[in-house]
Amino acid sequence: MIGWTGVLLACLAVFAIKLAGHLAPQRLLERPDVTRAAGLLTAGLLAALVAVQAVATADRLQVDARLPALAVAAIALWWRAPFIVVVALAAITAAGLRALGLP
C-alpha cells in the first residue's frame, strides 16, 4: 500500500528532475550521447511496463484477456489511431472477452 508520503516524494522527485533541466549548464546539450541515452532509457522502461501490465500479476506470469486487448491496441496504433481510441479499444476488448468468460 502506497500512502501520501510515497505520492508526495514521487512528485517531488519528478519536479526536481524538471527543475534540474532548467538550471543545468547548457553544454550538456552538446553531449548527444547523453540525450540519446535518456531517450533509449525511456523506451526500455516503457517496454518493461507494457510487458508487466499485459501478462504479469503481482507474483507470476498469466495470459488472460489483457494480451488480445494489447494486440488490438497495437493494430490501432499501426493505423495511427489517437491515444484515447487505442486505450478505449483495449479496455472494450478485455471487458468483452471477460464478459464471454475469459479470465
Partner 1 sequence: MSQNAHDEARAGVWRQALSVAIATGAYAISFGALGVSAGLSVAQTCALSLLMFTGGSQFAFAGVAASGGEPLTAVTTAALVGARNGFYGLQMAPLLRARGLRRLIAVQLTIDESTAVGSAQTVTHPDRPELARLGFWATGGGVFILWNAATALGAIIGEVLGDPRRYGFDAAAAAAFLALLWPRLRDSDARWIGLAAAVVALGAVPVVPGGVPVLAAGTVALAAAWWAARKHRGPAPAESGSAESEEAPQ
- Asked if residue 74 binds partner 1 (CB under 8 A), the reply is yes
> Which member of 45, 79, 100, 101 binds partner 1 (CB under 8 A)?
45
Number of residues that bind partner 1 (CB under 8 A): 80
Q: Which of 70, 53, 68, 64 is nearest to 103 (CA)?
A: 64
Under rule CB under 8 A, residue 102 binds partner 1: no
Q: Which residues pair with 56 in a beta bridge?
A: 61
**Integer Cα distance of 29 and 18 in angstroms:** 15
Q: Is 17 in the site for partner 1 (CB under 8 A)?
A: yes
Would you count residue 38 as binding partner 1 (CB under 8 A)? yes
